[in-house]
Amino acid sequence: MGAEVTVTSVNFKEEVLDSALLVLADFWAEWCVPCKMVGPILEKLADEHKDKIKVAKINVDQEGELASQFNIVSIPTLLLFHQGKVVKQQIGAVPRPVLNDMIKEYL
């Protein structure tokens, strides 16, 4: 079930806040090189933990209201949602071990 899903203001509540799974929200943009570096790592995490986590892809150029709501000023920004609440944040492109550490206590 866990996978990457495109999230907009229309489906944010359903896909992120009401999710039974842990949600790693990736605030990104098409032109962002560091975002493109993190993308494949997130895909692998979603695939490996598919019953426990979903990656929510939120394009800041298309979803400025969501980005503003969560005070996103630099991308990529990753927010970890557990039971509808932000429990961790990571700004910038980071290697896989950092992302593993970010999610492991909630898996």
Tell me whether residue 62 is one of the annotated catalytic residues.
no
**Residue among 7, 16, 22, 32 flagged as catalytic:** 32
How large is the average pLDDT for residues 58-63?
97
When the candidates are 3.40.30.10, 2.40.50.150, 3.30.930.10, 3.40.50.10490, the CATH number that belongs to 4-104 is 3.40.30.10
CA-CA distance, 107 to 104, in Å (whole number)? 5
Percent of the chain with pLDDT over 90: 87
State pLDDT tens for residues 18-49. 999 999 999 999 999 999 999 999 999 888 88
Tell me whether residue 101 is one of the annotated catalytic residues.
no
| Whether pLDDT at 69 is above 50 | yes
**Residue among 7, 22, 35, 79 flagged as catalytic:** 35
